[in-house]
Structure 1
Amino acid sequence: MNKKISIQDTYGERFQHCWGCGPKNEGGLHLQSYPGEDGETCVCQVTPDDQFTGGVPANLFGGMIAMIFDCHGTASAAWFAHKNKGLDLTPDTVIGRFITAHLEVDFLRPVPMNEPVTVTSRLEELTDRKAVIIMEMEAAGQPRAKAKMVAVDVKKDM
């Protein structure tokens, strides 16, 4: 049986320590993003724990919503750039890394705690240096937040 490879699992060693999505951050959330089966999207699923509640009980706080978009968006940017080069994810892949240059979030409805949340991204624009990513967060079949990100590739001397 083939295990799906998350985009974050293909980050180079120095990029695997992010609190939100780094596979090597022991205290982190270990968010994982995967290329969608349609080849045009990336998907991340997470179930927020009670500790991340916001000012309104039983709802996810806004900073955590933005952090999920941040980690998933940069992973998506890396995947779309990788795919654009005609490459696949394999166990040996070391994918190029992107970071957030701009993140704009619209909060539409409260995000419930302890329920699965799905974030889906799609590529709006890709150049040699940047990717523009559009994302939507949904839970219980309803849109909860949307975001637009400009992500830039990490230079080797960074």
Structure 2
Amino acid sequence: MIPPPDAIPPVRHPDAPAPGELLGAHYEHCFGCGGGQPHGLHLQARAGEGVSISAEFTVKPAHQGAPGLAHGGVLASALDETLGALNWLLRTIAVTGRLETDYVRPVPVDTLLHLQAEVTAVSGRKIYSTAVGRIGGPGGEVAVRARALFVEVKLDHFIDNGRPAEIEAAMADPDQIRRTRAFEVNP
């Protein structure tokens, strides 16, 4: 996705997590970052400089598609989760509007995938970002790349569209309330 000509450079929110700080899960039962998913990615993301983050996850046997290799959908999920975590640095609630993924090379089971992502531009409610995943660490071979468009939404988006039981449980969870309040403009 190419940002429109009137897009502006992203600005890190003054209250964003500091560079190097672990971002943590935005929801305990998230497949990408939550600890409550036994077969989830358990992706760990850290704030970087500017409007960037780094993240890692290890491809487990439950994540395979072809024998011994990561499923492409799992790799897309890891990219989506990493790109979505960038919104912590903008202090914006946003959802994926579009995700383009390029698969460069296979990723074997038991491989550490290191992901780097950054916001490249903002235009109104639209947030443009890119990510790259490397095998083994930041200097490893490129395995996947992505470009994404996120769209800013209000908290009501989740309340109106999520299943009531999960919404009620999340709203009763003190940790979830704390994470949600971090995004309020006037807490």
SS at match of 1:110: coil
Report the RMSD for the aligned CA atoms in angstroms.
2.0
SS at match of 1:68: helix
CA contact (8 A) 2:59 2:110 kept: yes
CA contact (8 A) 2:41 2:58 kept: no
Q: Distance in 2 between matches of 1:51 and 1:156?
A: 32
Instruction: Give the equivalent residue in structure 2 for 1:133.
Output: 129
Select the residue among 76, 79, 86 that pairs with 2:88: 79
Aligned positions, number: 134
Select the residue among 22, 30, 43 that pairs with 1:31: 43
TM-score by length of structure 1 reads 0.74
TM-score by length of structure 2 reads 0.64
CA contact (8 A) 2:41 2:78 kept: no
Q: Which digits, 9 at most, give the CA deviation of each residue in 1:38-80, with x for residues without a partner?
A: 334210111111221222x22111010001011111111x134
CA contact (8 A) 2:135 2:143 kept: yes
Letter aligned with residue 52 of structure 2: T
Instruction: Give the equivalent residue in structure 1 for 2:173.
Output: none
Letter aligned with residue 60 of structure 2: D
Structure 1 residues without counterparts, runs of 5 or longer? 83-95
Shift of 1:16: 4.3
Structure 2 residues without counterparts, runs of 5 or longer? 1-19, 158-187
Is 2:54 the partner of 1:43? yes
Shift of 1:32: 2.2
* The structure with more radius of gyration: 2
